[in-house]
Amino acid sequence: MSSPAPKKAVPEAPTIRELVTYRLLKATYYTTKPAYMLYSRKYKVTGVEWRLIGNLFTDGPLTLVKLAEEADIQLAQASRMITALIKRGLVLGVANENDGRSVKLSLTAEGKALYRKIFAEAQSRHNRLLEGLNKTEQQYLYQALDKLADIGREMLEEERLADK
């Protein structure tokens, strides 16, 4: 039986500011905060509502549980947000034929129109961010983000198991 591959040497982070998680958090803040401010001002939609709308457009119809999971928000928060979006006429809930205890959520025509408007803004911001990177850097960025997400999912699962 062969021994596991040795772990790669990783430089120590002398302060919180060099931790990869801290740097990702800062990058996320500076790239999403101005977008969320624009969406709130121009479309009266919060960042969380935008994520819910975007996921419903992309993958809908979805149950509330699946939507909250995909948008990475707590179920109670997702429930409150969806209730507000339903009242605003952006989301529709229909009885789930496969499970009478839940509903399938989808965007209304108004919700889809709003998604298209906001997505055009998001696409513009996406392009502006990526213009600062050459094609190779863009590929490395996406590869690195995918790897970090995979490692993070493993770490999350380990913590969930440790909590049991």
| pLDDT tens-place string over residues 4-34 | 555 666 778 789 998 999 999 999 999 999 9
Neighbouring CB atoms inside 10 A of 33's CB total 11
Provide the phi-psi class of 78: left if phi over 0, else alpha when psi is between -120 and 50, else beta.
alpha
Tell me the whole-structure pTM to 2 decimals: 0.83
Tell me the domain boundaries of the chain: 16-132
| pLDDT tens-place string over residues 78-117 | 999 999 999 999 999 998 777 777 889 999 999 999 999 9
Q: Looking at domain 16-132, which CATH architecture does it have?
A: Orthogonal Bundle (1.10)
What is the rounded CA–CA span in Å between residue 17 and residue 27? 12
Q: How far is CA 65 from the centre of its chain?
A: 15
What is the rounded CA–CA span in Å between residue 93 and residue 82? 9
